[in-house]
Amino acid sequence: MRAPISPTELPLRQVAEWEAQEACWLAWPDHPELWGDALPEVREAFVALVRGIVAPGPRPAARAEILVLDEAAEAAAAEALRGLDLRFHRQRYGDLWLRDTAPVFVEGPAGQRALCFEFNGWGGKYDLPGDSEIRAFVAARAGRSPVPLPLVCEGGALEVDGEGTCLTTRQCLLNPNRNPGWTEADVEAVLGPALGVERFIWLEEGLLNDHTDGHVDTLARFVAPGRVVCMAPAGSGDPNAEALIAIRDTLAASDDARGRRLEVIALPSPGRIEGPDGALMPASYVNFYIGNNAVIVPTYGVDTDAEALRLLSECFPDRETLGVSALALLQGGGAFHCITQQQPRPDAGQEQLNEPTQKV
């Protein structure tokens, strides 16, 4: 089972998130039937996120590319985001989770391409009108040729270091609700050439009540070549303690594509975070977004927020670390990484990577 990629397109590479970004794709929160009373707070968090993405600093700032439903939505978004470098695109979308519904941008000898996986509403759980159209729309607006791939996959299921290593989970990509009958070898045969990945590190289970069936971007992230962050349980009462320990142990025993044993930095877990209805939510500090000049980190109003921010600021000493409340956003099932999709600068690979700093 092979990805239908022309040999002239290869080699392709998904660049690391800390490499230079030209833009970030997002969608304005605009579905009151989904968000209810939380919508104003979700918009506040969205605005704070966008301000961090386009923030000036030592690197050229990225541009925000924002989907809006109609003229009224564009006017509301423009007022909330006044003075920022952004562009609006009118297009219907089911919700704001562009990490999963937008294409994944990769670079190759013929320039950037837009990987378009098959999408089935997170295993058939959320079939929202418009979401299946976003990949092609964003690829066209970005001016990037689409590369269709015969794999049901979302961007949040993939985490790369830009040097040949990918983190993912069996719970998601091998789930019968996405790719029934597929093996690890089948998935790697499609993703390897498409992402420029030689080494896959497979984790098992994700967080409880995770709508995405274990997306890796809530579990473990690269912060530099050879360095990953995950979470440690917040005491014996942490509902995800068993899964978090297993993730940390797997990472600590893994080598990357360059033969380096991974250095593992354990952020604290926020522990049990409940929604307004008392249900457990999949809260994670790992669902941060790495912008050109800032790292935007979800916070939850608990004691562990400060320690998570401190550790991440040490991982990214040349970027500002911004903590933004994600409590309202999390009611929809995710946080800041879930609602973003970066578009690298065409010359992103020529810039120096985020090199390892001192150990935390």
Residue 187 — φ and ψ, nearest 5°?
Answer: -65, -45
Q: How does DSSP classify residue 76?
A: H
Q: Are 14 and 103 in contact (CB under 8 A)?
A: no
The amino acid at 40: P
262 SS3 class: coil
Residues 15 and 13: their CA atoms lie apart, in Å, by 6
> Sign of torsion, CA 349 133 26 336?
negative
Q: How does DSSP classify residue 8?
A: G
Residues 33 and 173: their CA atoms lie apart, in Å, by 30
Q: Residues 24, 172, 230, 338: which is the catalytic one?
A: 338
Cα-Cα-Cα-Cα torsion 206, 211, 215, 221, nearest 10 degrees, comes to -80
Q: Are 89 and 66 in contact (CB under 8 A)?
A: yes
> Sign of torsion, CA 96 336 222 211?
negative
Tokens for 98, please give them: 């562009």
Q: Which whole-number Å values give the CA distances from 101 to 2, 46, 141, 223, in the listed order?
A: 22, 17, 15, 24
Q: How does DSSP classify residue 273?
A: E
Q: Does residue 338 have an active-site annotation? A: yes
Whole-angstrom Cα Rg for the chain = 19
Active site residues: 338
